[in-house]
Chain A
Amino acid sequence: MVMKAIYVILFLIFAPFIGGLLDGIDRIISARMQRRKGPSIFQPFYDLGKLFSKEMIAVNNVQLLLNLSYLVILVIAGAMLFAGADLLMVLFILSTADMFLIMAASSDSSPYANMGASREMMQMMAYEPLTLLVAVGFYLTTGSFHVGTIIQQPVSAVLWMPGLLVGFMFTAAIKFRKSPFDLSTSHHAHQEMVKGITTEMSGTTLAIMNIAEYYEMVVILGIFFLFFVNSTWWSWIVALAICFVLFLMETLWDNISARLKWKTVLYGCWVVTLVAGGVNILILMLDK
């Protein structure tokens, strides 16, 4: 119980910092790949500070409220994950949180924000099947949806679910808002969507959205972590290292690919889910 509380508190305090630092690293590495020098590693935190200091302007009164709800519900999902609760429920709450972001974006009749919101829904539709299958995969491998049980297995889950790992890596790019799947909004401006779902967000509202994204990043990496961890102590270090490498691979992918059309994204994700995820699940069902 105490351990659980410690994990949750650590998550609550450090997740935004980790998320921010990862973002900073991502920006530096991207810059180096493009032969630029890039900003300081702490640039995301300077950005946040600046956003919070801005004058409060908004297009309506509910956007801030919805963004705050997005943040808090995401944090609850993350806290449940780190408290060792039911993985499937965590995923359900994650998608409910996303719902608030979509509502925030479409709460005014802004054309670009609305288009972004539509694309965000489409992206959810693209990655949702695989995330559910990942939870099912853990259930089949370890006999439980509970994160607390999953991390205490004698062997790492990834041995049983490599296909699901590949699928999750594929779809995680959507969650990280990385190219080629950054349809709804992207880290880079000057595009056909302006800024997609965040077009109408500014100042504090945007800062909250960014913090929420940092939390989400940590939650997704946490799920990656579950693939590799087992009951031995050194597996934790290995898992953390692998998560970092996976993150760097997403950065690489982001830099070497161009944005895809929505149809390619949707069908691509669904086919990968079916082939990598479905076959993996089928084998697990037959074997376990």
Chain B
Amino acid sequence: MIPLLIAIPAVLAVLFQFVRNEKARGYIVYAGSGIIMLTTVIFIVRWVTGGAQTWMLYPETELIDHLMTAGDIFLMCLIIYLSVKHEKVIPIILSVLQTALVIYTEFTADVAEGPHMMVDWLTILMCVIIAFIGGFICIYTVGYMKGYHHHHKEVEDRQPFFFSMLFLFLAAMFGLVLSQNLVWIYFFWEITSVISFLMIGYTKSDEAVNNSFCALWMNLLGGLGFAVAIALMAQLHGTLQLLEVVNIGALLPLMCLSLAGMTKSAQLPFSTWLLGAMVAPTPSSALLHSATMVKAGVYLLIRISPALEGNLVGIIVSSIGGFTFIMASMMAIAQNDAKKVLAFSTISNLGLIVACSGIGVEETVWAAVFLMVFHAVSKSMLFQSVGATENTLGSRDIEDMHGLIIRVPKLAYIMGIGIAGMYLAPFGMLISKWLALKAFVDSGNVILVLCIAYGSATTMFYWTKWLAKLLCYHIPRDTVKDVTRKDEYISMSFHAIVMLLLCLFLPVVAITVVNPIVRELFGNTHDVLSMSVLTTMAIMLVSIFIVPVVMFFISRRSHQELVPIYMNGVNEGDNRFFTNSFGGKDHLYLSNWYLRFEFGRRHLRIPSIIVATAVLVVGFCLVIGGVSW
């Protein structure tokens, strides 16, 4: 089954190069996504009926190893070619260094044979996220790209390439989460970096090209960290198993892998690439830059988190995570571009997950996994609804979404559910935050407690003002036609339903999915979430879902006379115009509050990068210097 999971999307990716007909391509995407989801379901069913044991697979893979080496060299050549073409130096250096290092290690080091792939609960969870969220995003893309090219005439239509990359990316992600051998993970890791780079540059504008190279070099730096970790493990410890990295617990390889994880999940000081990546068409933002690829970074960190508990590397990782959580959420306040807000919020949430995995105890890893699930669903949904709104309104400025609930109600509802999922009680984010806070206190890390306290306050601010903007009742100046296609709505409704179900069945998800993951990583059976907390959650669920509905019926029974709003001048009658001091008619315009001069990127970006870099550099020095903790 496993080869199929990787092969099917890969074959589809090749297929798109030959299908030039738009309609046929659409059907292939639908069918392909369906097949991928079906294969995943069959795979999981077989695994579960097989006893849900951890599978260790493929000990002998001589041929594939050589193919992967060839693949690594091909990627290196591709990077060199493109860098030379666009006159960039850093990516070439980084790429050559790491590829040479990995190949040298492979041919010289004497490494114990071991399984190359592994299936356990965490893998299964990642597969579900990749197959279903990824699959539906692909379906969404069909409709979205039509609208996109309708609006952006200046962009060359390279849809076959785009779809190829999407599916190839799915294949690489499957490979990444299923692999257990470091060299294999590294190979798939590099593929995702390169695909992300190619997708960011889709429009070929100067901005896109620059941002794509920024993303490339930062990810390659992480890749270099990965390569160093591989070399160290092979030379010093004679093994290339990820599990062994955790068991041996040598600090330097852990630090290098953490560096890789943090660059991939765009933690400070590497957050710039994710913001730049927002120039790419929305589906790639949804799939790569929020739902799955950036999750690869935290996936790796969660995998190694048992080895991070209480040591220097853990402290560095969690400090950077906590710092990123608060700084990114502060910078999000000053943004009015919806995608930028989403990007900052992604960085900030990933920061929380990274902080959790850096602490590396059961409670925090539990919270991290939970956050990952909820974040994947709601962020992908938000990106899709922002993309659809952009195609409909012609803008993705939050200011233009004033009263979206009146203009395009369906999109506003979806966006509202997504936003609520990101921060409101009783959605999963909150329970994770509760757990994380408790665990941070238990671990005695006062800085992280402060980060989470301030960070959740700032998080609340930027989401609330966006939500308020959406729900503002307002007679629109002009009517807009909702150009969102049916396949886009199918994907978004799927996400919305999953979100609500996740929330309703939160205890079930906790017990059947998240608990086993934590148990496998830590090897014991104590329940992280006590029954009393679950009861509290039930009360919260009732309060949030039932109360407004009941109140709706109560308030409907009262008859209210509607009157115009107060404008401190004469209201011209329809709440849109008021009489100004010259007796003329003035249009009312309401704007959100962005605190630009306080929380703007301009003020916070550079200092936060400097601080994070300092922490990282000092951390590396201490680890290399062998300072014990």
- Do A and B bind? yes
**A→B interface (CB under 8 Å):** 55-62, 64-66, 68-69, 72-73, 76, 80, 85-86, 88-89, 92-93, 95-96, 99-100, 102-103, 106-114, 117-118, 121-122, 124-126, 128-130, 132-133, 136, 139-140, 145-146, 194, 199-200, 204, 263, 270, 273-274, 278, 281-282, 285
A161 to B355, CA, bound (A): 27
- Shortest distance between the CB of B529 and any CB in chain A (Å): 12
Query: Which residue of chain B has its CB nearest to the CB of A195?
Result: B566
Q: Please determine whether A107 and B471 come into contact, CB atoms closer than 8 angstroms.
A: yes
Asked whether, in the complex, the Cβ of B472 is within 8 Å of the Cβ of A128, the reply is no
> Do B536 and A89 have beta carbons less than 8 Å apart?
yes
Q: Is B461 an interface residue (CB 8 A)?
A: yes
Bin the interface of chain B by size: 35 or more
B467 at the interface (CB under 8 A from A): yes
B441 in the interface (beta carbon within 8 A): yes
Query: Nearest chain A CB to B208's CB is how many angstroms away?
Result: 34
Query: Which of B441, B473, B543 is A62 in contact with, Cβ under 8 Å?
Result: B473
Pairwise interchain contact B472-A108, C-beta atoms closer than 8 A: yes
**Residues of A contacting B562 with CB < 8 Å?**
57-61
Closest B residue to A109 using CB positions: B474
The answer to whether A107 touches B560, judged by C-beta atoms less than 8 angstroms apart, is no
Partner of A145, one of B438, B555, B563: B438
B437 touches A56 (CB 8 A): no
Q: How many cross-chain pairs have Cβ atoms below 8 Å apart between A and B?
A: 190
| Chain A residues near B465 (CB-CB < 8 A) | 118, 121
Contact with A along B426-438 (1 / 0, CB 8 A): 0000100010011
CA distance A263 to B229 in the complex (A): 47
Please, which residue of chain A has its CB at the minimum distance from the CB of B558? A56
* One of B99-107, B341-349, B590-598 contacting the partner: B590-598
| A residues near B559, Cβ cutoff 8 Å | 56
Q: Mark B418-455, 1 if CB is under 8 A from A, else 0.
A: 00000011000010001001100100101001101110
Q: Which residue of B lies closest to A95 (CB)?
A: B460
* Chain B contacts for A96, CB-based, 8 A: 424-425, 540, 543-544
| Chain A residues with CB under 8 A of B474 | 108-109
Apart from A56-B558, A57-B563, what are 12 other A-B pairs with CB-CB below 8 Å? A56-B560, A58-B560, A59-B562, A59-B575, A69-B547, A92-B430, A111-B590, A122-B461, A125-B458, A132-B453, A136-B449, A274-B450
Closest chain A residue, CB of each to CB of B559: A56
Q: Is the CB of B468 within 8 A of A117?
A: yes
CA distance A93 to B538 in the complex (A): 12
Q: Which residues of B contact A62 (CB under 8 A)?
A: 473
B235 at the interface (CB under 8 A from A): no
Inter-subunit contact B555/A194 (CB<8 Å) = no
Q: Give the most central of A117, A126, A129: most B CB within 10 Å.
A: A129
Are B551's CB and A65's CB within 8 A?
yes
CA distance A204 to B467 in the complex (A): 25
Select A103's contact among B468, B536, B592, beta carbons within 8 Å.
B468
A109 pairs with B441, CB closer than 8 A: no
- Tell me, rounded to whole Å, the shortest Cβ–Cβ distance linking B177 to chain A: 32
Given A121-B461, A139-B441, answer yes or no on A194-B551 (Cβ-Cβ < 8 Å): no
- With a cutoff of 8 Å between Cβ atoms, the chain A residues found around residue B460 in the complex are 95, 121, 124-125, 128
Residue among B452, B464, B472 making CB contact with A109, cutoff 8 Å: B472
1/0 per residue, CB under 8 A from A, across B566-586: the answer is 111000000110000000000
Can you list 18 A-B contacts with CB-CB less than 8 angstroms, sorted by A residue number?
A59-B565, A65-B552, A68-B554, A76-B539, A80-B539, A85-B536, A88-B438, A89-B533, A89-B540, A93-B540, A96-B425, A109-B565, A114-B590, A126-B457, A132-B437, A136-B449, A282-B446, A285-B446
Q: A100 to B420: give the CA distance in the assembly, Å.
A: 12
> Which residues of chain B from 465 to 498 have a CB within 8 Å of any chain A CB?
465, 467-469, 471-474
Cβ–Cβ < 8 Å partners of A281 in chain B: 446, 449-450
| Cβ–Cβ < 8 Å partners of A65 in chain B | 548, 551-552, 554-555
B627 within 8 A of A: no
Question: Which of A61, A85, A106 makes the CB contact (< 8 A) with B471?
Answer: A106
In the complex, per-residue mask of B587-609: 1 if CB is within 8 Å of any chain A CB, else 0:
01010110000100000000000
Q: Is the CB of B551 within 8 A of A110?
A: no
Residue of B nearest to A270 (CB): B454
Contact of A118 among B403, B441, B532, B592 (CB under 8 A): B592
B444 to chain A: which residues have CB within 8 Å?
A: 285
Q: What's the minimum C-beta distance from B427 to chain A, rounded to whole angstroms?
A: 10
| Interface contact B437-A136, CB-CB below 8 Å | yes
Contact residues in B for A61 (Cβ distance below 8 Å): 555-556, 560, 562
Flag whether B392 is at the interface (Cβ < 8 A).
no
Could you say which of B402, B456, B473, B547 contacts A132, with CB atoms under 8 Å apart? B456
Contact check, B457 vs A111: say whether CB atoms are below 8 A apart. Answer: no
- Chain A residues near B566 (CB-CB < 8 A): 110, 112, 194, 199-200
Can you name the residue of chain B whose Cβ is closest to the Cβ of A117? B468
Given known A106-B472, A129-B457, contact A204–B558 (CB-CB < 8 A): yes
Residues of A within 8 A of B452 (CB): 132
Check: B561 CB closer than 8 A to any chain A CB.
yes
Is the CB–CB distance between B457 and A128 below 8 Å?
A: yes
Bound complex: CA of A263 vs CA of B599, how far in Å?
12
Whether the pair B565, A110 counts as a contact (CB closer than 8 A) is: yes
Q: How far is the CA of A55 from the CA of B562 in the complex (A)?
A: 11
Q: In the bound complex, how far is the Cα of B429 from the Cα of A118, in angstroms?
A: 23
* B554: chain A residues within 8 A (beta carbon): 65, 68
Closest chain B residue to A130, Cβ basis: B453
Assess the A109–B560 pair: CB atoms within 8 A. no
Residues B568 and A125 in contact, CB atoms below 8 Å apart:
no
B347 smallest CB distance to A (angstroms): 19
**Chain A nearest CB: distance from B372 CB in Å?**
20
State which of A55, A73, A128 has its C-beta within 8 Å of the C-beta of B547. Answer: A73
List B518-549 residues whose CB lies under 8 Å from chain A: 532-533, 536, 539-540, 543-544, 547-548
B453 touches A129 (CB 8 A): yes
Do B575 and A278 touch across chains, with their CB atoms under 8 A apart? Answer: no
Q: With an 8 A cutoff between CB atoms, is B625 at the interface?
A: no
Q: Which residues of A contact B548 (CB under 8 A)?
A: 65-66, 69, 100
Q: What is the CB-to-nearest-CB distance from B319 to chain A, in angstroms, rounded to a whole number? A: 15
A56–B561 CB distance below 8 A: yes
Q: Tell whether, in the assembled complex, residue A64 and residue B555 are in contact, meaning their CB atoms are under 8 Å apart.
A: yes
**Residues of chain A within 8 A of B547, CB atoms compared:** 68-69, 72-73, 76
Instruction: Tell me, in angstroms, the Cα distance from A281 to B532 when the chains sit together.
Output: 26
Knowing A125-B460, A125-B461, A132-B456, say if A69 contacts B551 (CB, 8 Å). Answer: yes
**A122 proximity list for chain B (CB < 8 A):** 461, 593
Residue in B547, B567, B593 whose Cβ sees the most chain A Cβ within 10 Å: B547
